[in-house]
Structure formats: structure tokens, C-alpha cells
């Protein structure tokens, strides 16, 4: 089976908005064994959208559209579907009820413009939107499946997972099974990973490996295709083993794992608690740690000690040390880690100090210089980093390398 | 003048990576008055890439490619350009020197696979990469301009701004001037904005207005086209005034402004300092505030008081209050704001407590319930929020609404 994705919105053609939905859907459809050969973008224009859906349905088994289901004059998807099917727009009472509940929960008055979203083409199946207002639509047209999803990724994602994916699974029996596995590596340059698995990267289908460099990490994506679940799993396992043989030390996780989720699992398992004192990262490390559900079990506290007076008065780092070594120094990173550990009564303390830029650098201490200390019981792990990039990138890379250092040492 | 964008990378076709470069370039080219009619994606395949560049150059004045300039076997752009131009690959000494400096700064050994990136097609102009290793390439082919840019957005962005944009500006004199302005609004639903400026949203070129809903904010983008700078600025100003008339109270900034940068400017101007005590947002508010360069002037400290014991022992919120009202309550938000203000000696204190989920909710205190308090001198601003979404979305929406509340009250 194959599919096409049509993204709707003039904002995409003008580059005002980044098209994340196409990537998300391409990946999810590939995982279902559905090939995507074509993706396109059309503006907020009924005639062109109608034409795009008709052409896509002439070539492909499934047409998925995203966007254009909102309450504004630009939102044309439902009406275009009603033109395609030659059906009138009718009020869907369940959608209306969901809409009323949506506003009630927020203690807001129901907006009349929103009520428009409860009108859908007659006979079309509505898919509940548990995050926003616009329902998804499923219909058949000339024997093809047409699926219309809302544009906001936070609405589209759950709707695809909860309703569209199960719907499609029922309809694609007997075809290929495609599976993918992502191996995630940190603290290793892309070129080194590339060199280590050069042969794997040249593999041809049905099993392929791709290499992707992301901020502070490298990912190897294994994709395999076979007639059944067992064969496809065996292919993936074989490649995974080969990658592990070459790069074991750098692998921090798989698939949805993040450095913070993996570290969190280790801390939970070891029943260790953690506290962090941040200067240049400004709360990003605490934020990443607490993005993990259940982090309240091991995360005791974070302190963003941005000014020297906070380092001295709240954290209790001695004024003399700051004067002697400078606030950005290995000594102060150690003192921050020691003091936060003591203050929180945690098993692990982390201290970070550095220059995130763009101002504040000197020849001796340039922008991108970061000192970190991790104290685990009596063990001290010290590190000097040198990063390049924007302020936000330096903050991110710092937390990335510190989380990896933490993972390796707990 | 018109342009086409070709994104290179199998990872894009498979949806492994989101194509942010096309949006970035579409926007930047539009701002230069260059129309983008076509964007496409090709995999890591020399023959198909060669064909794609040839077809694009047959139709358009400018062809911009992104990606495929890295050190791996998949990186085929330079070699494809050498095939297109029928020129051999030669070592560029300046690129080699930049590459050596790149590794020296990081105290790393030069990787042999990286040296490959210093080889470029003979006669092609190299554009310096100040963030990464791969140089950009500029060449002419059949009278058309071919520009090859690296794939990582953090390398592509600065390279476009610093080198490509000035290069193109010199070549597009006498054509249309296109300008855009984005009006940013917070704490207002998209449907309300839509209703207020319904007429503007229906405007046809040369002046148009688009509406875009983003996480926690709505943006109105004005685009105008004219023969000269003066006319285009006048058109934009006229529309901007109309938007202000209708929605003045919700506008927090323009163009690159963020809630944190605007709030930061206000605090700097008023010489006020701030400190934050966060529970459910876990450091995200501190992180956003410190993403602004120069925030050390007004941001004194942040405390992530995740556990009740930290709220009691470090922050000094009374145990009795926590037991009486519960950690997630308006009273505790106030106490957190008061205590952090006192602890930091700042002019403003913010306290946040809530349930980010997915666990921890009850019928009385559901996931998404957040209490916040902002204390400015003797003024107390209290707020109860109710959000829906994932853990990370609830964290983000909370900080978004608090920053807006802060902006309106300082």
C-alpha cells in the first residue's frame, strides 16, 4: 500500500511555518509498511486543494492531509472534502459536545467561530480530538482512503497514534512488515561513527542503516523490511549487534530514549538522588531532568546561581575562592557541586559554570568555555568543555555532555 | 528573480529528520524579493541529485541546495557539483586551515575523514563556515547561480545571513522589494484574533496578512511588495496600525521578539531584578529568562523546589501551610514568590506550583492545574491556569502565560 501526504497552508509555502507534520507522518506510515512516494504543499485555496486531493487519490491508496481544519476563514479542508464528495455540511453533535467541554474546562465562553468546526461533510467519520477542537475526518473516495488531520502537531500526533494508526493497521494485512530501530550515541563525533560502521552504511534494502547528526548526539537508524515480524526483528537484531561491537561505549539508548530519560532510569534503579547548581546553563539542566515523568523521585532541587552573590550567600561558595579563581573555573564548579549536594542532602551534586555568550568572553576564558563537576559520594568527575555556537546551543551542548558524563558514572 | 530549493538527504524522505531548512530559506528568499515556486527533496543519490539540479537550473535563476556536504559516504553534494561542472576536485587551503583550527580549538586530533571536506570542485567559490567544518559553495552553471549550503541549520543559518544574503542582494537590484513584519500576540485564542482582523486576513497581494497559531501565542504576518523601500514600509505600517487598533492589549512584540526578550528589555529599562521559585515547571522559566543575552543584569536566581522538603528547608515555606493547603495551591504559590524574593533580595518574585502530569492528578486537582504568583514590590498578581497536553507542553504553556502576565504588570 502507498500513501501521499498533502500539507495545507500558505504559511508553509512562504516558509513562515516549518513542516514537521510531513516528517512525522512519513515516519509513522513507513513503520506501518506504507510507502510514501510523494509529499506536497498547497496553499489555502479550495480549487487547488481539491485538485491536489483528486490527483493524489488517482495515484495512491491513501491520501493524508494536514491542516486547514481550524476556525478561521483560511481553514478550507472540511468544505473542500464536502465539494469532493458532493455532500452538504452537517452539525456533528458529539463534536459539538467535545467543543463545549473544551471551553468549559478552561472556564471560557464558547466562541461562535469555533462552533463552525462542529460542522462536517455528511456521512464522513469524525475522529475525536482530545487535545484541541478540530475533529479529524476519515472518508472513502473512489475506493481510496482520505484522512484529514488537524495542523497543530500536538493535536495531529496523538490523533494519529490513537485513531489513525489502528484504523490503517486493520487495512494493511498481508503486506510487508517494516520496522526501524534507532541507536543513539553521545560524546562521539559523526565522522568517527561513520568510520566505525562504514560498511553498514552502504547496505542496500531490505535492510539499511542511516546516520544522522543531531545537536550533541549521533543516531544510527536501522530499517528492515520482511514478510513477517520474526524475520524483520532478526535482521534488526543482527545489525544492532554489529553496531554494539564497534561503538558500545558511546551508545546511551535506543528509539525514544533521551539522555535525561536514560539517566533517570539509572537513578531510579539505583535509588540515588540528585541536585544541580547551574550558572551558565541557567536552569536548562534542571528543566531537562524534570521533563522526565517520575523525576520527582530522584530530583531534589535545582539552583540557578546566576549572580556571584547567590553563589556566595545562598550556595555558600566562599568569596575568596571566587576572587582567587574567578567565577568561571574548575574550582568554583567543584564548590558549587559540593554545596548543592550538601544543601539538598542528595547522593549526587552537579556544578556548572561557564560563558554562554555572546558577550563576556576573554582570550583566556572564551565564550563556550564551561567547567563542570559531578560529585557522586566521594567520587569527583571534573570536566572542561569548549563549545562553539549561539548562547542557546552552548547551553544545550553543555547539558548534553553533562548528562552523558553522569550516565557513564552512576 | 526566482529560486528553487533542493534539500538533499534520504533521512528527509523517510521522515527521520524535519526539513527546517526549506522553511528558513523560503522565508529569507521571500524577504529578498526572490520568489520560490518549487521545493523538493532528493535522497543521497548522485544521479538523482544531478538530474534535480539540472532541471531546477533549467527553470530558475537560482538553485539552492542544502545538505550532503558532511564527511560521510552519504555526502555527495561536492562531487555531484564537480560532475555537473566537469571539474576535478582540488584541495582548498583556506578551508583546510579553518578545519585545522576547528579541531585545535576543541583540543582534538584532525580526523582524516574530515579532510575530505577541504576538497571542492575546481574554480568554485568557497564560503567560510564559522560554526562547523563544511564550506558552502557558489558557482555559475549555464548562467544560473548554484549555491550549496551545509545541512545543519546552525551552520546554514549564519552562512546564509553573513555571506549568501549579501551576495544575492548585489544581484537583484531593480526588482521588487518585499518586506514582512510579524505581530506577536499572547493570552488570546486564535479564533478571537481571527474575528478581530477578519477583513485584513482576506487582503490580496501586493499586501497580505496571515494568521499563525503557535504554542501559547498567535502571530499575524504582514507581507508587502512594492517597487521601492518607501512604499513597502508605508503599506506595512498602515496594516500594523489597523492591527494595533483592534488587538493592542494582546500584542507583546514584533518579528524576532520573544516573551522572554521583551520582558527582559522592560526589566532592564526599569532597572528591576527578578528571582523565580519553580515547582512543576522544573527550571524552564529560569532557562527561558536566561536564554536572553544580558539577562544576568536582572535575573538574580532561580530555585527549582521540586520536593516539599526543599520548599520548606531551603525556601522557608511553612510545613503547616503545605499540609493545610496542599503543595499545589494558590497559597503555596504566593509563599514561594514571597520567599524567593526575600532570599534573592530582588524587586520581583515569582512562585509556580502545579501538576505537569502525566501522573499525579486528582479530580479536584487535575493534571494541567497550575497556580502562580508574581509579587512586584507590594503588588500581588495571582493566577490559576488549566492546561491540557503533554508534560512538556504544560510546562511550556505555564511559562508562556507567566511571562505574559509579568510583561503586562511591570
Task: Give contacts of A299 with chain B, Cβ < 8 Å.
Answer: 282, 304, 306
User: In angstroms, what separates the C-alpha of A39 from chain B's closest C-alpha?
Assistant: 9
Task: List pLDDT tens digits, range B114-168.
Answer: 888 999 999 999 999 988 889 999 999 999 999 999 998 989 999 999 999 999 9
Q: Considering CB atoms only, which of B16, B201, B386 is closest to A221?
A: B16
- B350 to chain A nearest CA, in Å? 14
Distance CA A337, CA A379 (A): 12
> B306 and A283 in contact by Cβ < 8 A?
no
**What pLDDT, on the 0 to 100 scale, is given for residue A102?**
87
Nearest to B287 among A202, A282, A359 (CB): A282
The secondary structure of A4-50 as a DSSP string is EEEEE-HHHHTTSS-BHHHHHHHHHHHHTT-EEEEEEEE-S-HHHHH
* Partners of residue B284 in chain A, C-beta under 8 Å: 283, 287
Which among B18, B20, B201 has the least Cβ separation from residue A72? Answer: B201
Supply A17's cell numbers: 511555518
DSSP code, position A129: -
Closest CA to B355 of B390, B404, B320: B390
Which of B26, B70, B201 is the closest to A15 by Cβ? Answer: B26
From chain A, the residues in CB contact with B152 under 8 A are 213
pLDDT at B174 over 70: no
- CA pair distance A363, A389, nearest whole angstrom: 17
C-alpha cell recorded at residue B307: 520536593
Instruction: Judge: A201–B152 Cβ closer than 8 Å, yes or no.
Output: no
H helical segments located in B221-329: 229-247, 259-270, 284-290, 308-313, 319-325
Q: CATH fold of B2-169, please?
A: Molybdenum Cofactor Biosythetic Enzyme; Chain A (3.40.980)
Q: Which residues pair with B200 in a beta bridge?
A: none
Confidence of residue B203 (pLDDT cuts 50, 70, 90): confident
Q: Give me B285's grid cell.
A: 522559566
- Domain A259-409: top CATH class: alpha beta
Q: Which three cell numbers stand for residue A157?
A: 500526533
Least confident window among A389-393, B77-81, B203-207: B203-207
In the prediction, which pLDDT does A175 show? 66
ipTM tops the 0.85 cut: no
CA angle at residue B52 from B46 to B58, to 5 degrees?
135
Q: What is the pLDDT, as a whole number, of residue A23?
A: 87
pLDDT band, very low/low/confident/very high, at B190 (cuts 50, 70, 90): confident
Q: Give the one of A15, A22, A300 whose C-beta lies nearest to B24's C-beta.
A: A15
Local confidence band at B283 (pLDDT 50, 70, 90 cut-offs) = very high
Chain A hits for B14, CB-CB cut-off 8 Å, are: 26-27, 30, 210, 221, 223
3-class SS at B16? coil
Q: Where are the domains of chain A?
A: 2-169, 177-254, 259-409
- The answer to whether the CB of B211 falls within 8 A of the CB of B183 is no
- Radius of gyration over every alpha carbon of chain B, rounded to an integer in angstroms: 26
Question: Which residues of chain A lie closer than 8 angstroms to B358, CB-CB?
Answer: 293
Which pLDDT does position A298 carry in this prediction? 97
Nearest alpha carbon to residue A9 among A53, A42, A47: A42
DSSP helix, strand, coil percent of chain A (3-state; round to 5): 45, 25, 30
pLDDT, tens only, B297-354: 999 999 999 889 999 999 999 999 999 999 999 999 999 999 999 999 999 999 999 9
The DSSP bridge pattern shows strands A119-121 and A89-91 to be antiparallel
Nearest to B212 among A17, A309, A310 (CB): A17
List CB contacts of A97: < 8 A, sequence separation 6 or more.
Answer: none
Residues 6 or more apart whose Cβ sits within 8 Å of residue A148: A64, A65, A66, A68, A69, A77, A78, A81, A136, A137, A138
Please give, rounded to a whole number of angstroms, the shortest distance from the CA of B172 to a CA of chain A: 19
Distances (CA, A) of A203 to A222, A224, A242, B49: 10, 11, 13, 20
Q: Is A207 exposed, middle or buried (0-12, 13-18, 19+ CB in 10 A)?
A: middle
> CA–CA separation, A295 vs A302, rounded Å?
12
Do the domains B259-409 and B177-254 match in fold? no
Q: Are strands A369-376 and A348-354 parallel, antiparallel or unpaired?
A: antiparallel
Q: What is the mean pLDDT of chain B?
A: 92
Model confidence band, residue B175 (pLDDT cutoffs 50, 70, 90): low
pLDDT tens for chain A, 410 residues: list them. 889 899 898 778 777 777 889 889 988 888 787 887 677 778 788 988 998 899 889 989 999 999 999 887 778 999 999 999 999 999 999 999 999 998 888 788 888 888 889 999 999 999 999 888 899 999 999 999 999 999 989 899 999 999 999 999 888 766 677 788 999 999 888 888 988 998 898 887 788 888 888 888 999 999 898 888 899 999 999 999 999 999 999 999 999 999 999 999 999 999 999 999 999 999 999 999 999 999 999 999 999 998 899 999 999 999 999 999 999 999 999 999 999 999 999 999 999 999 999 988 999 999 999 999 999 999 999 999 999 889 999 999 999 999 999 999 99
Look-up: residue for cell 526572490?
B34
Question: Nearest CA to CA, how far is B327 from chain A (Å)?
Answer: 13
Task: Give the CB-side neighbour count of residue B168, counting CA atoms within 13 A.
Answer: 28
- For the question of whether the overall pTM of this predicted structure is more than 0.95, the answer is no
Tell me whether residues B386 and A213 touch, CB distance under 8 A.
no
Single out the residue of A360, A393, A285, A353 nearest to residue B294, CA to CA: A360
Provide the pLDDT confidence category of residue B241 given band limits of 50, 70 and 90.
Answer: very high
Q: Do A12 and B30 touch (CB under 8 A)?
A: no
Q: What is the pLDDT of residue A39?
A: 76
Q: Which residues of B touch A390 (CB under 8 A)?
A: 154
Q: Which residues of A touch B296 (CB under 8 A)?
A: 306-307
Q: What does the pLDDT read at residue A1?
A: 84
Burial A314-347 (b: 16+ CB within 10 A, else e): bbebeeebbeebebbbbbbbbbbbbbbbebbebb
Distance of CA B89 to the CA centre of its chain: 36
Compute the nearest-CA separation of B87 from chain A (Å). 26
Q: Choose among B26, B290, B295: nearest Cβ to A14.
A: B26
Facing residue for A310 by CB, picked from B17, B210, B301:
B301
Residue of B nearest to A194 (CA): B72
The C-alpha cell of B236 is what?
Answer: 506595512
For B177-254, the fitting CATH number among 3.30.70.1250, 4.10.490.10, 3.30.70.2860, 3.40.50.1370 is 3.30.70.2860
What is the spatial distance between Cα B234 and Cα B240, in angstroms, rounded to a whole number? 10
Q: What are phi and psi of B109, to 5 degrees?
A: -75, 145
As a whole number of angstroms, the distance between CA A282 and CA B293 comes to 11
Size of interface A-B (CB pairs under 8 A): 269
Q: Taking CB atoms and an 8 Å cutoff, what residues of chain A touch B339?
A: none
Which residues of chain B make contact with A356, given a CB cutoff of 8 A? 290
Q: From the candidates A73, A108, A283, which should be mutated to test the interface with B, based on the most B CB atoms within 10 A?
A: A283
Asked whether A240 and A200 are in contact (CB, 8 A), the reply is no
Q: Is B22 close to A15, i.e. CB distance below 8 A?
A: yes
- Cβ distance A189 to B111 less than 8 Å, yes or no, reads yes
Amino acid at each position: 500500500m502507498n500513501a501521499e501526504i498533502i500539507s495545507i497552508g500558505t504559511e508553509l509555502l512562504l516558509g513562515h511555518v516549518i513542516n514537521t507534520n510531513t516528517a512525522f507522518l512519513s515516519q509513522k506510515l513507513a513503520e506501518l509498511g506504507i510507502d510514501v512516494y510523494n509529499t506536497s504543499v498547497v496553499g489555502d485555496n479550495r480549487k487547488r486543494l481539491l485538485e491536489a486531493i483528486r490527483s493524489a487519490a488517482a495515484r495512491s491508496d491513501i491520501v493524508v492531509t494536514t491542516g486547514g481544519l481550524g476556525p478561521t476563514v483560511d481553514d478550507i479542508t472540511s468544505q473542500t472534502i464536502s465539494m469532493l464528495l458532493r455532500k452538504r455540511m452537517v452539525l456533528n453533535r458529539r463534536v459539538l459536545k467535545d467543543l463545549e467541554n473544551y471551553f468549559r474546562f478552561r472556564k471560557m465562553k464558547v466562541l461562535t467561530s469555533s462552533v463552525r468546526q462542529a460542522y462536517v461533510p455528511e456521512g464522513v467519520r469524525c475522529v475525536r480530538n482530545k487535545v484541541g477542537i478540530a475533529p479529524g475526518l476519515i472518508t472513502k473516495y473512489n475506493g481510496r482512503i482520505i484522512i484529514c488531520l488537524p495542523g497543530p502537531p500536538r493535536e495531529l500526533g496523538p490523533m494519529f497514534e490513537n485513531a489513525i494508526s489502528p484504523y490503517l493497521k486493520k487495512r494493511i494485512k498481508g503486506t510487508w512488515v517494516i520496522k526501524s530501530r534507532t541507536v543513539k550515541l553521545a560524546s562521539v563525533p559523526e565522522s568517527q561513527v561513520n568510520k566505525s560502521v562504514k560498511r553498514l552504511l552502504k547496505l542496500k534494502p531490505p535492510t539499511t542503516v542511516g546516520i544522522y547528526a543531531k545537536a550533541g548526539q549521533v543516531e544510527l537508524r536501522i530499517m528492515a523490511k520482511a514478510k513477517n515480524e520474526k524475520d524483520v526483528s532478526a535482521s534488526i537484531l543482527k545489525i544492532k549487534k554489529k553496531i554494539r561491537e564497534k561503538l558500545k561505549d558511546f551508545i546511551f539508548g535506543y528509539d525514544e530514549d533521551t539522555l535525561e530519560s536514560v539517566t533517570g532510569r539509572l537513578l531510579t534503579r539505583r535509588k540515588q538522588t540528585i541536585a544541580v547548581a547551574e550558572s551558565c546553563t541557567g536552569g536548562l539542566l534542571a528543566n531537562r531532568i524534570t521533563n522526565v515523568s517520575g523525576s520527582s523521585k530522584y530530583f531534589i532541587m535545582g539552583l540557578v546561581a546566576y549572580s556571584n552573590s547567590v553563589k556566595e550567600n545562598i550556595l555558600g561558595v566562599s568569596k575568596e575562592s571566587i576572587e582567587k579563581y574567578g567565577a568561571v573555573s574548575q574550582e568554583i564548579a567543584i564548590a558549587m557541586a559540593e554545596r548543592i549536594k550538601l544543601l539538598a542532602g542528595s547522593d549526587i551534586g552537579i556544578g556548572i559554570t561557564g560563558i554562554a555568550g555572546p558577550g563576556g568572553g576573554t582570550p583566556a576564558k572564551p565564550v563556550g568555555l564551561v567547567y563542570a563537576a559531578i560529585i557522586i559520594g566521594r567520587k569527583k568527575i571534573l570536566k572542561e568543555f569548549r563549545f562553539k555556537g549561539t548562547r542557546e546551543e552552548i547551553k544545550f551542548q553543555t547539558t548534553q555532555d553533562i548528562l552523558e558524563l553522569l550516565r557513564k558514572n552512576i
